Chain A
Amino acid sequence: MQNSIPDGFPSTNDQEKLLADALALVQHHAFYMHRALDNNNLQDALKFSAQMLGELRTSKLSPQKYYELYMKTFDELRMLEVFFKEETKRGCTNAYLYEEVQHAGNVLPRLYLLCTVGSVYIRSKEAPAKEVLKDLVEMCRGIQHPVRGLFLRSYLSQISKDKLTDAASEFEGEGGTVVDAVEFVLQNFTEMNKLWVRMQHQGPAKEKEKREKERSELRDLVGKNLHVLSQLEGVDLDMYRDIVLPRVLEQVVNCKDELAQYYLMDCIIQVFPDEYHLQTLDTLLGACSQLQPSVDVKTVMSQLMDRLSVYAASAPEVLAEFSQVEAFSKLSEAVIKVIEVQQDMPLVGAVCLHVALLTFTLRVHADRLDYVDQVLGACVKKLNGVGKVNDSKATKQIITLLSAPLEKYNNVVTVLNLTNYPKIMEHLDYGTNKIMAVVIIQSIMKNGTFIMEADKVEALFQLLKELVQDSDGSPTLDELDEEDFMEEQNLVARLVQMLTNEDNDEMFKILITAKKHFQKGGSKRLGYSLPPLVFSALKLVRRLQEQDKNNEVDKVTFSPQEQGSSTEADEANISPQKVFQFLLQTVDSLSAVPAPELALRLYLQCAEAANDCDLEPIAYEFFTQAFVTYEEEISDSKAQVTSIHLIVGTLQRMHVFGVENRDTLTHKATGYSAKLLKKPDQCRAVYVCSHLFWIEDEGGVQDGERVLLCLKRALRIANAAQQMASVTKGSGGPVTLFVEILNKYLYYFEHGNQHITNAVIQGLIELIVTEMQSENTTQDPTVDAFFASTLRYIRFQKQKGDGVAERYAAIEV
């Protein structure tokens, strides 16, 4: 025989052997029992079945192994039951059998036999079901050993299941009522739980875990009783509320066993209908707070809330019930109480509870923002005093908490109404806060949510604080990953498109609010955040401009209603001028970055917009700033060339300037053009400036002479470039500049500039030919092709109708 550990079960290998031995013996006795059954020998049947059942008296098998043995004997007992039934047909009364089996020597076999006869007895209806069941459930007290007792009572439960005196059952009436059935099951349940709990205290303390595992394996035996109760037709809400639940909870609370409490609470929630839970919420939640401190009550309550959430979604009529029983306030109070009582509940547990409550609230009372805010508020209270959360699990739960309303409402504006939302965000550490901010912006972009009020914009920027500016505790910008930073800031930039309102005054307030926050962003962020703001403001200007235009039209027609609307426009607070002021300040801020090229472009954009609004002084101011930026901050030669082209290109389109202003700016532009570093760049910039003197729009200046002067200047520069090139590189440089200027001559010739004559053009053509043929000149196929296509163009023009040919007639190619 193997050594068995005192008060515990032998090791696994031993278990296998013990089970095998026991099964063999059961088989052995059963064989003889069958023989007795075949011979209708009651006494022998009883004898051998008792011996067989004797194997169940073992204490050495673990619950799993015991179960196997039990199942084997269970099958055999079914044969015996059939035999008993037949015996009663042969004249033996149930009462007699009931007596006989009690002669078995040992109490356990005796009780199994008694239950088996009991089953037949009840079915025969010779005695009221309730009496037999009452007797059996009490007799089973004879077994106090936990495992043996549990299986015995389980057997009782199994054979009685279909014989309970439920409403409308065949056994009801004389046999008893549903009240008796409930009483029977409750009693069996109570006793089984006591046995189950007792297992915890058997054996040495160091084997606690092993015992708990073994207990776990048996839990369904106990839980089954609750299941049976839930299946009883006769148990309606009243009976559940008044009898069943209080009795069950009494046992659950009084047993003071962590494992049992957790399992049974969970069982109750899963097994009974949700409407019952709703109506007994007080009782259930009351029990929750009376459980052992070590019980994971937050999971129990979360399960309950989850089930109720699903129930709420099942049918709209159900929602009214929820309000009627004040489910929300009961649950939220219970949550607070539990957290208070369980002092050492970890933070993640408390947050989890709030997440479950929030999920419930969002499903059941989505329209009650005040409820949602209340839940968040309770969480804030819990977080107060914690500071920044650095537990990663708790942080994850907080993110879940914050994301839930975003996902539910798909509308950040709704979420902005939750006063406690930003307070929770403050408890997130820097990195997580940014993650949350990104989630918020992504929600806006995904749902196409427009933020239409300045105060909402303000609230939004509070939430996005960590993205938009530096704060204490945030890492320096050098430490941040470049790419991540860029992505984040681009996201913020995109956000600007969503801050908009058709009302001009509100729109302006939005712009000011956004700028206020962006200003705090520091030099690295301004380059991302200010450009979209500028364009947003320019769009506002355009809108104002178009509205003004419409109002002007109305003024002209003098129609009565529209007169009213034009006065409205006059009274509006916001004017293009005010927006331009804003724009000037905003673009100015870029000097802090510094970003002169960007600033220059933006100044020019603003100048064009001012031009479109006929605001000459403002347009002039923007040009001034553009020039100042060019002078003081743009020193890279390539950047200078681009900038000059942008300035000239913009200036060329301006119609708002009077003669003086125009002259000043033109003079500046040409001056800077001539001062570019490289000669070819100078040349090109200067000939491009010629367009400043030739505006084809209505009322535009067309000063042919100054155009020619410009082109001649460009020619001189080109010459100088030629000479320089020949000196430094040994041969003349490419002739392309001459060809370009020739093309410009042709342009003005076509457009009717009288100062550009045939002779002028002819002269340049010949010059080019000479240069190209000169030995000093480097051959360049692209220049050749350019000149060739220019000549081709001239020839083509000579063939054209509409008087064009005549003009070109004198030019020889």
Chain B
Amino acid sequence: MSTSRKGSMMKTPDIQRRKVLTIGSFKLGICHGHQVIPWGDLDSLDMLQRQLDVDILITGHTHQFKAYKHEGGVIINPGFGTGAYSSITYNVNPSFVLTDIDGLRLVVYVYELIGGEVKVDKIDFKKAQPVG
């Protein structure tokens, strides 16, 4: 599964939508992120994750790649594929993310274009066995 962002300046689309998907044993939530204030704030995003009751929350708006791992799950901001201007992030590095779900294991591969070179990073997350 790959995730990347479509710019919100394009024709003011309805970006209030959120979506919850189930892939394998993981529940994913997707939301643009501008409604979660303060923007980019981990604790506020945490709340959204609880609200959607998902293991993985994918969000955006800040144009900066971020991945947080905590007891409740993972929050991923894949950044912005074209490196377009953001008022929040200076010097946006173009990035995108591929997530691989295998049973209870989630691996996030991050591709960033930094200084003309593609850098790849990896984040592992293992979901706790459901009780009972």
Q: Complex formed: what's the CA distance from A593 to B47 in Å? A: 39
Contacts of B39 in A (CB 8 A): 649, 652-653
A649 near B34 (CB under 8 angstroms)?
Answer: yes
Chain A contacts with B in 519-577, Cβ cutoff 8 A: 531, 535, 538-539, 542
Q: Does A444 contact B (CB under 8 A)?
A: no
Asked whether A538 and B85 contact (CB < 8 A) given A649-B34, A747-B43, A789-B53, the answer is: yes
Q: B28-52, CB under 8 A of A: which get 1 and which 0? A: 0000001101110001101100110
Among B12-20, B100-108, B109-117, the stretch that binds chain A is: B12-20
Q: Complex formed: what's the CA distance from A650 to B53 in Å? A: 27
Q: B61-91, CB under 8 A of A: which get 1 and which 0? A: 0000000000110000000000011011010
B85 near A535 (CB under 8 angstroms)?
Answer: yes
Contacts of A604 in B (CB 8 A): 87
Contacts of B43 in A (CB 8 A): 747, 750-751
A642 near B51 (CB under 8 angstroms)?
Answer: no
Q: Which of B9, B16, B51 sits near A739, CB closer than 8 Å?
A: B51
Q: Count of A residues near B, CB < 8 Å?
A: 42
Main secondary structure of the interface of B (DSSP, over half): loop
Q: Which of B35, B37, B50, B90 sits near A786, CB closer than 8 Å?
A: B50
Contacts of A22 in B (CB 8 A): none
Q: Does A609 contact B (CB under 8 A)?
A: yes
Q: Does A44 contact B (CB under 8 A)?
A: no
B71 near A542 (CB under 8 angstroms)?
Answer: no
A790 near B50 (CB under 8 angstroms)?
Answer: yes
Q: Complex formed: what's the CA distance from A740 to B9 in Å? A: 29
Give the Cβ gap from B113 to chain A, nearest Cβ, in Å.
17
B47 near A598 (CB under 8 angstroms)?
Answer: no
Q: Does A156 contact B (CB under 8 A)?
A: no
Q: Complex formed: what's the CA distance from A740 to B16 in Å? A: 17
Q: Count of B residues near A, CB < 8 Å?
A: 25
Q: Does A363 contact B (CB under 8 A)?
A: no
Q: Complex formed: what's the CA distance from A653 to B61 in Å? A: 14
B12 near A598 (CB under 8 angstroms)?
Answer: yes
Q: Complex formed: what's the CA distance from A236 to B107 in Å? A: 79
Q: Does A796 contact B (CB under 8 A)?
A: yes
Q: Which of A691, A739, A782 sits near B38, CB closer than 8 Å?
A: A691
User: Which residue from chain B places its CB closest to the CB of A744 in the assembled complex?
Assistant: B47
A653 near B50 (CB under 8 angstroms)?
Answer: no
A638 near B14 (CB under 8 angstroms)?
Answer: yes
Q: Does A94 contact B (CB under 8 A)?
A: no
Q: Complex formed: what's the CA distance from A237 to B129 in Å? A: 94
- Of B12, B14, B71, which is in contact with the most chain A CB atoms at under 10 Å from its CB? B12
Contacts of A605 in B (CB 8 A): 87
Give the Cβ gap from A121 to chain B, nearest Cβ, in Å.
82
B50 near A598 (CB under 8 angstroms)?
Answer: no
Q: Complex formed: what's the CA distance from A608 to B89 in Å? A: 11
Contacts of A641 in B (CB 8 A): 16
Q: Does A588 contact B (CB under 8 A)?
A: no
A793 near B72 (CB under 8 angstroms)?
Answer: yes
Contacts of A790 in B (CB 8 A): 50
B50 near A638 (CB under 8 angstroms)?
Answer: no
Q: Does A713 contact B (CB under 8 A)?
A: no
B9 near A789 (CB under 8 angstroms)?
Answer: no
A786 near B34 (CB under 8 angstroms)?
Answer: no
Asked whether A597 and B12 contact (CB < 8 A) given A649-B34, A652-B37, the answer is: yes
B51 near A743 (CB under 8 angstroms)?
Answer: yes
Q: Does A315 contact B (CB under 8 A)?
A: no
Q: Complex formed: what's the CA distance from A744 to B90 in Å? A: 29
Contacts of B9 in A (CB 8 A): 531, 598, 601
Contacts of A744 in B (CB 8 A): 47
Contacts of A608 in B (CB 8 A): 87-88
Contacts of A597 in B (CB 8 A): 12
Chain A contacts with B in 731-787, Cβ cutoff 8 A: 736, 739-740, 743-744, 747, 750-751, 782, 785-786
Q: Complex formed: what's the CA distance from A789 to B53 in Å? A: 7
Q: Does A645 contact B (CB under 8 A)?
A: yes
Q: Does A707 contact B (CB under 8 A)?
A: no
A789 near B38 (CB under 8 angstroms)?
Answer: no
Q: Complex formed: what's the CA distance from A542 to B90 in Å? A: 9
Q: Which of A538, A539, A645, A750 sits near B34, CB closer than 8 Å?
A: A645
Contacts of A531 in B (CB 8 A): 9
Give the Cβ gap from B16 to chain A, nearest Cβ, in Å.
6
Q: Which of B16, B47, B85 sits near A539, CB closer than 8 Å?
A: B85
Q: Complex formed: what's the CA distance from A684 to B8 in Å? A: 21
Q: Does A646 contact B (CB under 8 A)?
A: yes
Q: Complex formed: what's the CA distance from A641 to B12 in Å? A: 13
Q: Complex formed: what's the CA distance from A721 to B38 in Å? A: 25
B47 near A645 (CB under 8 angstroms)?
Answer: no
User: Which residue from chain A places its CB closest to the CB of B33 in the assembled complex?
Assistant: A649
- Of B37, B84, B90, which is in contact with the most chain A CB atoms at under 10 Å from its CB? B37
Report which B residues bind A (CB closer than 8 A). 8-9, 12, 14-16, 34-35, 37-39, 43-44, 46-47, 50-51, 53, 71-72, 84-85, 87-88, 90
Known: A531-B9, A652-B38, A653-B88. 14 other contacts (CB 8 A): A535-B84, A538-B85, A601-B9, A605-B87, A642-B15, A645-B35, A684-B35, A747-B44, A750-B43, A751-B43, A782-B53, A785-B53, A786-B53, A793-B72
Report which A residues bind B (CB closer than 8 A). 531, 535, 538-539, 542, 597-598, 601, 604-605, 608-609, 638-639, 641-642, 645-646, 648-650, 652-653, 684, 688, 691, 736, 739-740, 743-744, 747, 750-751, 782, 785-786, 788-790, 793, 796
- What would be 23 A-B contacts, judged by CB atoms less than 8 Å apart? A538-B87, A542-B90, A598-B9, A601-B9, A639-B12, A641-B16, A642-B15, A642-B16, A645-B34, A648-B37, A649-B38, A653-B88, A684-B35, A691-B38, A743-B47, A743-B50, A744-B47, A747-B43, A747-B44, A789-B50, A790-B50, A793-B46, A793-B72
